[in-house]
Structure 1
Amino acid sequence: MLDSIYIGMTGLMGYSEGLKVIANNTANMNTPGFKSSTLQFGDLLYTDGKSDLGLGGSMSGHGFGLSTFGTTLNFNSGELRQTGNSMDLAVDGLGLFMLQAQDGSIRYTRSGQFDFNDAGELITRTGGLKVFGIDAAGNVGIVSVAGARTSAAKATGKVSFTGNLSSTATEQTVGNLKVFDVAGVEHALSLKFTNGSATTPGSWAVSILDGTTEVGNGTIQFTNGSPSADTAQLTFSYTPPGQAEMSVTLDFSKDVTSFASGNLSTLAASGGDGTPAGTLANIGFDENGFVVLTYSNGESTKGDRLLLGRFDSSDAIKAVGDNLFMSTNDSLWHQGVANSDAFGGIKPVTIEISNVDLSQEFSDLVIMQRGYQASSQVISTANDMLQELFTMKSQA
């Protein structure tokens, strides 16, 4: 009977541990990237004695109660939920973000709530752990935008045109032709088209003007309303005040025609490849994990790429709190990037919420409660039997 009380106590202790696990799961039902746990139960050792039944058989001894062996992590993916924050990321598939802890050790997480610190390094929003990535040269380091907060000016090399140059007009002027020099200074040029069909059908003389000064000229020949291939691009040299000489190409090869439309011409510049200097206006990520930098001058570029880790066995990972995990066996881990090998893709402006299944947790809660009540009843019954035994002995 004393053994029965002890066995009942192991049940109370085991189900209490189970209740703690369920409580932790339900308490973190809204924790981004949280992975639920399940407590593992087992029976305690058995006596090695045997009782002879007198019938040629035997009966093994009884066990010593309930034992617990720790928890098993459930790494099923949680629901992906959009947040509207460009610094929120989720892994859609296999993979965990790799972080550098304060002591330099590696930690892993499914919670992609990040931000950039004053030094331009990508860190977790809570805890400030630095995020690992790969640069353009393939070197592993901390994801950073340091040195990329401005976009250098780019001199104009080509300007494209669209529209119709009326074949019946005698002259056409296209103004406000924006050209940027190497310092990012904008210069407004203009083009003067003079119809030369009187001498050469379909030909136009082109004069490039900086104010009233001609800085270039050329000829465009139209055949059946389209510019000929050898005259569709006009290149001239331009020397902005105080700057070195630069070469600019005027491209009329696409969407430019010359048909009769009276004196109305719609020819205009559709865009150039030159830009002024710009400052960083927005930082985001793409589905492959690249940092996408957008600047005030309209330019955009890709920076470092997020580094991901994945494991071969759940025995190789351990929860350490704060939505973080650590490796218990580095040989079972792999590194890579999104959408390659077995790694999943990156979902920008999204977080993965907890994978806790409340219906399952409540079902397990009822089971734990019933087990606890049953173990308590065993102790109560064993105590009653002991009291009865003491009463019998006192009456002897």
Structure 2
Amino acid sequence: MQSFFNGLSGMLSFSKGIDVLSQNIANMNTPGYKGNNAIFRDFSGGEGGIGSSVVGTELQRQAGDYQDTGNATTLAIDGEGYFVLQDSDGKNFYTRAGQFTFNDNLELVDSTGNYNVMALDDAGNLAKVSFSDLKIMAPEATTQVQLSGQLASSDTNHTVSDIKIFDESGKSHTISIEFTNQNNNTWQAEIFLSDSTSAGTHQVQFNLDGSPLDGANVINQDFTFNGSTQTIEFSLGEGSSFANAIQVASGTSNLGATVEDGSATSGYTSIEFDELGQIKVTYSNGEEQSGQRIAIASFNDISKLTHAGNGLYQATSSQMEMGVAGEGVNGKILAGKLELSNVELTEQFAQLLIAQQGYSASSRVMNVANQLLDTLYNNTGGR
């Protein structure tokens, strides 16, 4: 009788194993899908045992192949971490399928379930990934202009023109500086606005060796634009240094100006993520700003993760550590790539054949046991 039930348990076990294999094969094209292995266990009892059973499944840890998408918000993880998603009720899910996009609120969401992709702030708390604060680069007033090149003491004057500065509203203004030789290594510097109005007159001086004289190497000029006053520093460079502006005895004056800061209001032109999962925003003025870093969850035992559909997993009793890319086993972020399923079809077919043979063999055991019972019944029934 026990052989009959052993064969039955084998058929049930292999049937459940085929269920797991069929689920893997059905999801071989599902991005980020982790295949499962059926866990078989024997039942002990008596000398011959009392059959087998499938007690659960375990996730296959290895990563799937990576596919280029050409989409900067599609992300993959080269490591063992998982992206953290959150639904409208604040419930967390975990996924390897980084099919993300920015919604109308400029929040990064999962394109299949519209769940928010989470970032990790400096305090270690989860926050929605958003670039709403980075959509526009605020205007910045110019505060520093660096003068470089040479003034020839043999020249009477030299004009540095087309210096573009910005006021606090981001509006640009073009100014010029006219240098007039006062002899004795001294030059008068008069600053003119675009309408040729003088904004101020100053003096700069050089040492005998031609380097800027400390204390006479910087011009501080106040400008008033739209009723607001801003101060801009025009520097010849450090005193006694030859790194920027110098005076030469003869030759041609070629002193020029480089505006070190200031910008107009600028909109973003591109958004991308670096290997650490940090938002990088580029603006129309060529400037860049960095934003949040995407949260990465790692698990010491991924077998405790359960499928929640749509390529998502839920954590049960598994211990979880929240961090960011570049830490521990979390790995790095691959922008513009999508992780495919890790299901290997050849392996699944091989296991399917084994399960089929096991099922057939278990069925054969039941058949033989049944024949033995029939023989026993017939022999005893004839008495």
For Structure 1 versus Structure 2, the TM-score category normalised by the shorter chain is 0.7 to 0.9
Shift of 1:261: 7.3
Cα separation, 1, equivalents of 2:49 and 2:370: 19
1:347 Cα shift? 3.1
Unaligned runs of 5+ in 2: 238-242
Name the CA distance, whole Å, in 2 between partners of 1:32 and 1:225: 67
User: How many correspondences in the alignment?
Assistant: 376
In percent, how many aligned pairs have the same letter?
36
Given that 2:86 and 2:93 are in contact with CA atoms closer than 8 Å, whether structure 1 keeps it comes out as: yes
CA contact (8 A) 1:28 1:34 kept: yes
**Distance between the aligned counterparts of 1:137 and 1:205, measured in 2?**
54
Q: Distance in 2 between matches of 1:147 and 1:292?
A: 13
* TM-score, normalisation: structure 1: 0.82
* Residue of structure 2 equivalent to 1:235: 220
| Distance in structure 2 (CA, Å) of the matches to 1:222 and 1:80 | 62
Give the Å deviation of 1:385: 5.1
Quick check: 1:366 aligned with 2:350? no
Report the equivalent of 2:99: 113
Q: Could you tell me how far apart the structure 2 residues matched to 1:293 and 1:277 are?
A: 14
The structure-2 alpha-carbon separation of the partners of 1:340 and 1:3, relative to structure 1 and needing over 3 Å to count, comes to closer
How far apart in 2 are the matches of 1:344 and 1:259?
57
Do 2:165 and 2:259's aligned partners in 1 also have CA atoms closer than 8 Å? Answer: no
Cα distance, 1:160–1:67 mapped onto 2, change above 3 Å: same
Question: Which amino acid in structure 1 is aligned with residue 360 of structure 2?
Answer: Q
Aligned to 1:245, the other structure's residue is in SS state strand
- Of the candidates 295, 300, 304, which is equivalent to residue 307 of structure 1? 295
| CA deviation profile, 1:17-48 (whole Å, cap 9, x unmatched) | 2223223323433433222211000123534x
Cα contact 2:200–2:221 (8 A) shared by 1: yes
What residue identity is the alignment partner of 2:38? L
**1:26 and 2:22 aligned:** no
1:136/1:304 contact within 8 Å kept: no
Distance in 2 of aligned mates of 1:26 and 1:321: 15
The answer for the alignment partner of 1:56 in structure 2 is none
Give the superposition deviation at 1:167: 4.9
Pairing 1:321–2:303 present: no
Q: CA distance change for structure 1 residues 281 and 77 in 2, over 3 Å: closer, same or farther?
A: same
CA distance in 2 between counterparts of 1:12 and 1:229 reads 93
User: Which one of the candidate residues 199, 205, 208 is aligned to 1:215?
Assistant: 199
Structure 2 matches for 1:1-396, cutoff 5 A? 3-47=2-46, 60=47, 62-135=48-121, 139-196=125-182, 199-201=183-185, 203-210=186-193, 211-223=195-207, 224-240=209-225, 242-253=226-237, 254-259=243-248, 262-263=251-252, 265-314=253-302, 316-329=304-317, 332-340=319-327, 343-382=330-369
- Does structure 1 conserve the Cα–Cα contact (< 8 Å) formed by 2:148 and 2:256? yes
1:135–1:303 contact (8 Å) kept in structure 2: no
Q: Distance in 2 between matches of 1:33 and 1:134?
A: 22
Measure the CA separation in 2 of the matches of 1:272 and 1:262: 28
Would the aligned equivalents of 2:140 and 2:263 in 1 still touch at CA under 8 Å? Answer: yes
CA distance in 2, matches of 1:243, 1:216: 18
| In 1, Cα distance between equivalents of 2:164 and 2:244 | 19
- In 1, are the aligned partners of 2:140 and 2:262 still within 8 Å (CA)? yes
8 Å Cα contact 2:33-2:311 kept in structure 1: yes
Residues 216-245 of structure 1 deviation map (CA, whole Å, 9 limit, x = unaligned): 2333334445434434432211112x2311
Q: CA deviation at 1:249?
A: 1.1
Aligned residue for 2:127, secondary structure, equals strand
Distance (whole Å) between structure 2 residues aligned to residue 222 and residue 29 of structure 1: 75
Q: Using the alignment, how far apart are the partners of 1:108 and 1:305 within structure 2?
A: 16
Deviations 1:75-127 (A, max 9, x none): 23344454332212233334322211244311111222212211222211110
Call closer, same or farther: CA 1:121–1:169 in 2, change over 3 Å: same
Q: CA deviation at 1:383?
A: 5.0
1:220-276 Cα distance to aligned partner (Å, 9 max, x none): 334445434434432211112x2311101123324444447744x443333331111
3-state DSSP of counterpart to 1:303: strand
Residue equivalent to 1:53: none
Paired letter, 1:16: S
Conserved in 2, the CA contact under 8 Å of 1:181 and 1:243?
no
| In structure 1, C-alpha distance between the alignment counterparts of 2:63 and 2:124, rounded to whole Å | 29
Amino acid at match of 1:71: T
Deviation at 1:354, TM superposition (A): 2.8
> What residue identity is the alignment partner of 1:311?
F
Contact 1:315–1:328, Cα closer than 8 Å, also in 2: no
Note closer, same or farther for the CA distance 1:255–1:100 as it changes in structure 2 (3 Å cut).
same
CA distance in 2, matches of 1:15, 1:26: 16
Long gaps (5+) in structure 1:
48-59
Mark the CA change 1:138 to 1:296 in structure 2 (over 3 Å): closer, same or farther. farther
Residue identity matched to 2:353: V
